[in-house]
Amino acid sequence: MTPLFALLFDQLDDRLRLRRPGRAVANKVFPHHWSFLLGEVALFSLIVLVATGIFLTLFYRPSTEPVIYTGSNPLYVGTSMPAAFESILRMSEDVPGALLIRRIHRGASHLFLAATVLHMLRILLTGAFRKPRELNYHLGIVLLTLAIAEGFLGYSLPYDSLAGTGIRIAYSEVLSFPFVGDRLAFWIFGGEFPTGDVIPRFFAFHVLVVPGIIIGTVSLHLLLLVRQKHTQFPRTGIDGHRMIVGKPLWPAQFAESATLMLWTAGLLTLAAVFIPWSDVALLGPYVPAEVGNNAQPDWFMFWLEGVLRMIPALEWDLPGLTISGPFIAGVVLPGLVFGALIAYPFIERRVYHLSGEWHVLQNPLDIPLRAAYAIGTFSFVLIASAAATNDQLSRLTGIPIETATWGFRIASMFVPPVLAFLLYRYSKGRLRRRGLAVASSEQEADSRFHEPASEQQPVT
Amino acid sequence: MSSPTRPARPEPEPATTPAEELLVLSERTPPPSQANDALVAGTAIASAVFAVVFAVALLLEAPLPVYGIALALALLLLAVAVRRYFTDRFPDVEAAEPRLHLDEGDDAPIADVEPVGRRPFLTRILIGAGAVLGLSFAAPVSSLGPSPGNALRTTAWQRGLRVVDGDGDPLRPDDIPVGGVATAWPNGAVGDEPSSLVVLRLSGQPQPPTDLDWVVDGSVVAYSKVCTHAGCPVALYRERDSALFCPCHQSTFDANRGAVPTFGPAARALPQLPLGVDADGYLVALGDFESQVGPAFG
Residue B79 in contact with residue A262, Cβ under 8 Å? yes
d(CA A337, CA A332): 9
Digit-coded pLDDT (tens) for B224-268: 999 999 999 998 898 888 899 999 999 999 999 999 999 999 999
What is the separation of C-alpha B145 from the centre of its chain, rounded to a whole number of angstroms? 21
Buried b (16+ CB within 10 A) or exposed e, A188-224: bbbbbbbbeebbbbbbebbbeebbebbeeebeebeee
CA atoms of A247 and B94, how far apart (whole Å):
5
Of all residues in chain B, the one with the smallest CA distance to A292 is B247
Alpha carbon distance A30, A37 (integer Å):
11
| Alpha carbon A393 to its chain's center | 26
**A324 phi and psi angles, rounded to 5 deg:** -120, 165
Structural domain boundaries of chain A?
A: 360-460
Q: Which of A437, A36, A419, A102 is nearest to A257 (CA)?
A: A36
B212 Cβ partners below 8 Å, 6+ apart?
B206
- pLDDT of res. B9: 47
Backbone torsions φ then ψ of A271, nearest 5 degrees: -60, -35
CA B263 to chain centre: 26
Would you say A231 and A124 are in contact if contact means Cβ atoms under 8 Å apart? no
Q: How buried is residue B83: exposed, middle or buried, by Cβ count under 10 Å (0-12/13-18/19+)?
A: buried
Chain B residues close to A322, C-beta within 8 Å: 296-298
CB of A62 closer than 8 Å to CB of A94:
no
Buried b (16+ CB within 10 A) or exposed e, A138-148: ebbeebbebbb
Please report, in tens digits, the pLDDT of each residue of chain A (460 residues total): 688 999 999 999 999 999 888 898 999 999 999 999 999 999 999 999 999 999 999 999 999 999 999 998 899 999 999 999 999 999 999 999 999 999 999 999 999 999 999 999 999 999 999 999 999 999 999 999 999 999 999 999 999 999 999 999 999 999 999 989 999 999 999 999 888 999 999 999 999 999 999 999 999 999 999 999 999 999 888 888 889 999 999 999 999 999 999 999 999 999 999 999 888 888 899 988 888 777 788 999 999 999 999 999 988 888 878 899 999 999 999 999 999 999 999 999 999 999 889 999 999 999 999 999 999 999 999 999 999 999 889 889 999 989 999 999 999 999 999 999 999 999 999 999 998 889 888 888 888 877 654 444 444 4
3-class DSSP state for residue B181?
A: strand
* Nearest residue to B95 (alpha-carbon basis) of B26, B181, B46: B26
Dihedral angle over CA of B14, B16, B22, B23, nearest 10: -60
Quick one: what percent of chain B has pLDDT higher than 90?
57
CA A96, A98, A100: angle at the middle one, nearest 5?
A: 105
**Strand order in B197-201's β-sheet?**
B163-164, B181-186, B197-201, B220-224
Stated length of chain B:
298
* CB A211 within 8 Å of CB A340: no
Residues in chain A: 460
User: Would you give the distance in Å from CA A163 to the centre of its chain?
Assistant: 20
CB A46 within 8 A of CB A113: no
The four Cα atoms A156, A160, A162, A164 give a dihedral, to 10 degrees, of 60
| B184 within 8 A of B164, measured Cβ to Cβ | yes
d(CA A240, nearest CA chain B) in Å: 9
Closest residue to B148, CB basis, from A183, A241, A356: A183
What is the DSSP secondary-structure string of A399-442?
--HHHHHHHHHHHHHHHHHHHHHHHHHHHHHHHHHTT----SSH
- Cβ atoms of B204 and B255 within 8 Å: the answer is no
Chain B residues in contact with A254 by the CB 8 A cut-off are 86
Distance from CA of B167 to the nearest CA of A (A): 13
Among candidate residues B227, B206, B216, the one with its CA nearest the CA of residue B271 = B227
CATH class of this structure's domain B156-285: mainly beta
A58 touches chain B (CB under 8 A): no
Interface of A with B in 407-446 (CB under 8 A): none
SS3 assignment, position B27: strand
Please state, in angstroms and rounded to a whole number, the distance separating the CA atoms of residues B266 and B295.
9
For residues B39 and B81, what is the distance between their CA atoms, to the nearest angstrom? 7
Q: Where do the domains of chain B lie?
A: 23-96, 156-285
Count chain A–chain B contacts defined by CB atoms under 8 A.
Answer: 267
State the Rg of chain A over Cα. Answer: 26
- Say whether residue A449 is in contact with chain B using an 8 A CB cutoff: no
**Contact by Cβ (8 Å): A105, A258:** no
Q: What is the DSSP string of B123-179?
A: HHHHHHHHHHHHHHTTGGGGGGS---TTGGG--S--TTPBEE-TTSPBPPGGGS-TT
pLDDT score for B221: 93
Question: What residues pair up with A67 in beta bridges, in sequence order?
Answer: A81
> Which of B66, B99, B154 to mutate to test binding with chain A, by most A CBs within 10 Å of its CB?
B99
Contact assignment for A238 to B10 by CB distance below 8 Å: yes
Q: Is A75 helix (H, G, I), strand (E, B) or coil?
A: coil
Contacts from A181-186 at CB under 8 Å and sequence distance 24+?
A: A181/A327, A181/B297, A181/B298, A182/B148, A182/B152, A182/B297, A182/B298, A183/B147, A183/B148, A183/B298, A185/B145, A185/B148, A185/B297, A186/B144, A186/B145, A186/B146, A186/B147, A186/B148, A186/B151
Interface predicted TM-score (ipTM) of this complex, two decimals: 0.92
Q: Which of A33, A55, A100, A159 to mutate to test the interface with B (most CBs of B within 10 A)?
A: A100
Give the closest residue to B153 by CA, choosing from B30, B297, B12, B4: B297
Q: Do B145 and A262 touch (CB under 8 A)?
A: no
Q: How does pLDDT run across B164-201, given as a tens digit for each residue? A: 998 889 988 888 888 888 999 999 888 889 999 999 99
Instruction: Map residue A369 onto helix, strand or coil.
Output: helix
Q: Which of residues 154-213 of A touch B (CB under 8 A)?
A: 165, 168-169, 171-173, 175-183, 185-194, 197
As averages over each run of 10 residues, the pLDDT of chain B (298 residues) reads 46 50 89 92 98 97 96 98 92 90 73 83 94 96 90 90 90 87 91 92 88 89 94 89 90 92 93 91 91 90
Q: What's the CA gap between B275 and A399, in Å, rounded? A: 38
> Residue B216 pairs with which residues in a beta bridge?
B220
Of all residues in chain A, the one with the smallest CA distance to B183 is A289
Cα gap A254→A183, rounded to integer Å? 51
Question: B259 with B272: CB under 8 angstroms?
Answer: yes
Check: CB of residue A84 under 8 Å from CB of residue A286.
no
* Facing residue for A252 by CB, picked from B25, B93, B151: B93
Asked if A175 and B87 come within 8 Å (Cβ–Cβ), the reply is no
Is B267 in Cβ contact with A270 (below 8 Å)?
Answer: no
pTM listed for this prediction: 0.92
- CB < 8 Å to A319, chain B: none
Mutate to test the interface with B, among A162, A168, A412 (most CBs of B within 10 A): A168
